[in-house]
Structure 1
Amino acid sequence: MTMVRAGVVPGRRAAWYGVAAVLVTAAICGGMVGAFGVNRVFTGLLLGIAAGIALLFLLFGRDGVVLTEDSIVRRTPWGAETLAWDRVVAGRFALDEQARWSLALDLNGGQEPHGELVLLSIPPVVKPIANAYDMRKREQVNEIRGMLRGKRIPVTVLPEIADALTRHWRLAPPTHGDTAR
């Protein structure tokens, strides 16, 4: 079964994850100092930081969107929502409010009358692949486009984005399932 992992953690939720990690670090450090004295503050900090980082990995790892052949699953650390593919009206690859490239799905129905599900948000591509981050994002764009093309969901791609993806990342230009604006 084909499965594509995507999703963008909103800034506010990411900030709460950071606050939770700091609180865990402080609690473990404080507990260590309380139990064993001030001489164990660095041991407490080390254990607290390790636990805080583990918590961040757990929270960010659980938060995301998983696209499967059957459905779309929007996950958060405290729950999951399954969306049917028939709720997807179209996709678009455009600029977002922070001048980043955003690949999003437009949804209808559900609890809100119309909604958007952001699958990917990346800085504009201005050069060929230079590192593992670029390679992973290129793979994600390609996997998501392939999944949407297989589901026959039209995707609008801004011409400058399509041109940069073709020129720098060697991704095929928009075809029958994609449309350029």
Structure 2
Amino acid sequence: MVRAGVVPGRRIAAYVAAGVFAVAVVCAGTVGAFGLNRVFTGLFFGAAAAVALLFALFGRDGVELTEDTIVLRTPWARSTVAWQRVVAGRFALDESGRWTLALDLNGGDEPHQELVLLSVPPVRRPVANAYDLRKREQVNEIRTMLRHKRIPVTILPEIAEALQRHWKIAPPAR
């Protein structure tokens, strides 16, 4: 199983709003139960509750590439996509200049769909921190899974060259 996925901006905003709401509710409950002198205690416990809530929400949200299917998860729903619907994969630039690894799907409700697996800032240096290392591992895991499933992947030449030079990821075999 390979874990991937990009959380859309609207969902991030909803998760952050839920976190702020958790802080407000816990703080108000603490102040209501123990008095106005416990505002900072309420804020502390509210922040702890918000962090736990955000970890739960973001941990549940994602895409899992399994041997049998592709599982799309949100905190409130779960759906699957058959590997037979995957036409191809591509590693290209998105609208904001980030590198996006996405799958093109056919069938389903819409005539053509895209499933974004990974979005990373352009690679301009060797692995320098834990974030870079995790993204490098994800790229390798996803490429291995797609290669195993015999799904063709197109990659922009400048992306392939930067991945090879900086992250030591070999270009896809023809």
Q: Normalising by structure 2, what TM-score?
A: 0.99
Aligned match of 1:38: 36
Greater than 3 Å deviation, 4+ residue runs: none
1:72-98 deviations in Å (ceiling 9; x for gaps): 001000011111000000000000011
Distance 1:87 1:49 in 2: 42
1:122-143 deviations in Å (ceiling 9; x for gaps): 0000000000110000000000
In structure 2, runs of 5+ residues without a counterpart are none
Q: CA deviation at 1:114?
A: 1.1
Aligned match of 2:120: 122
1:113 corresponds, among 100, 104, 111, to 111
Distance 1:27 1:78 in 2: 22
Distance 2:53 2:113 in 1: 30
| Other structure's SS at 1:92 match | strand
Q: CA deviation at 1:113?
A: 1.8
The aligned runs of 1:56-67 (5 Å cut-off) are 56-67=54-65
**1:87 alignment partner AA:** R
Q: CA deviation at 1:173?
A: 1.1
Aligned match of 1:159: 157
Aligned match of 2:16: 18
Aligned match of 2:169: 171
In structure 1, runs of 5+ residues without a counterpart are 177-181
Aligned match of 1:179: none
Q: CA deviation at 1:112?
A: 1.8
Aligned match of 2:134: 136
| Other structure's SS at 2:16 match | helix
1:117-170 deviations in Å (ceiling 9; x for gaps): 000000000000000110000000000001001100000000000000000000
Q: Normalising by structure 1, what TM-score?
A: 0.95
Q: Number of residues paired by the alignment?
A: 174
Distance 2:155 2:147 in 1: 13
Aligned match of 2:67: 69
CA RMSD of aligned residues (A): 0.6
